Amino acid sequence: MKLQTVLLLTTAIIGYALAAKFPASFSRCKQEDGNCLLEAITATFRNFHQGVPEIGLVPLDPLRIDTMDIVQGDGPINIVLNFKKVDLTGFQHAQIKKVSGFTSKPTKMDLNLLVPVASLVGGYRINGKVLILPIQGEGASNMTMVNCDISLKWTGKLVEKNGKQFYQVDKFKVHFDTSRFYMDFSNLFNGDKALGDNMNVFLNDNWQDILKELKPAISAAFTKIFQAVVSNVFNKVPYNELYVA
C-alpha cells in the first residue's frame, strides 16, 4: 500500500519574532487544566472554524486538501484513487472527548474527538478493482463518515527559537472509527448512469469490507493532514503563550 498526500495550507506562517495575537474571545487555559482545555478546544472548533491566521490556525471547516492519492495494490481492493481540491467538512461540530499532555514539559499529547458527520467532498479519479468488480471514472465525489471517532496522538519536545520555547512535533499518528461509511462517485464508467448507479449501490452495500481495506490509507492521510494543522500552530506561537499565567 502506498499513500501520497499533499496538504495545501491556506495560511502562511509569519516569522517567529512576531508576537501572536489571540482574538479577544479566544479561550486559553492554565497548563494541565483538563476541564478548561476540553471547553477551550471545543470552543475553537465551534467559534474559530474559519481559522485564525494570527496564531497559525488554518480553516478547520471546511479544511481544504489540495491533493490526496490512495494507491491500494494488495488484497481484494486494487485501485488508484486520486482526490483533487477536496474539502473535509463537519469539524465545526466536533465534540472533544479527551485531551492530555499539555503540561509545562510536554512530550506526548493526545486529543480525542467525535465528529457527528465528517465528509470529504470534491474531485476524484479512480481506476482498478473493488472486491470482484472493475471500477473507473472521474468527476465529483462524496465520502461521508457518521459518528467519526478520531484519536490524535503525537510526541515532540520544546526547542528554542529566537529566545523563545516552541513545541516541535516529532511523531504523529491518527486512528479513527466510524459507525457508517457512505460513498458516492459521479460519472463512473464514462457517464454510464446504469453502471454508475449500480456501482455506488454495491460500494455502499459492502462499505464495511471496503473500509477495512482502505482504513490504513485513510488513517495515513488524516495523519498528514492533522499533523500539518497542529504543527502550524505550535510553529507560530511560543509554547507558554498558548496558556494563561
pTM: 0.85
Question: What ranges do the domains of the chain cover?
Answer: 34-242
Percent share of the chain, pLDDT over 90 = 75
* Stretches in the chain below the pLDDT threshold 70: 1-19
pLDDT at 5: 37
Query: What whole-number distance in Å separates Cα of residue 197 and Cα of residue 177?
Result: 27
Phi-psi group of 32: left, alpha or beta (phi > 0 → left; psi -120 to 50 → alpha; rest → beta):
left
pLDDT at 36: 93
pLDDT at 81: 92
CATH superfamily of 34-242: TULIP domain (3.15.10.30)
Backbone angles phi, psi at 90, to 5 degrees: 110, -10
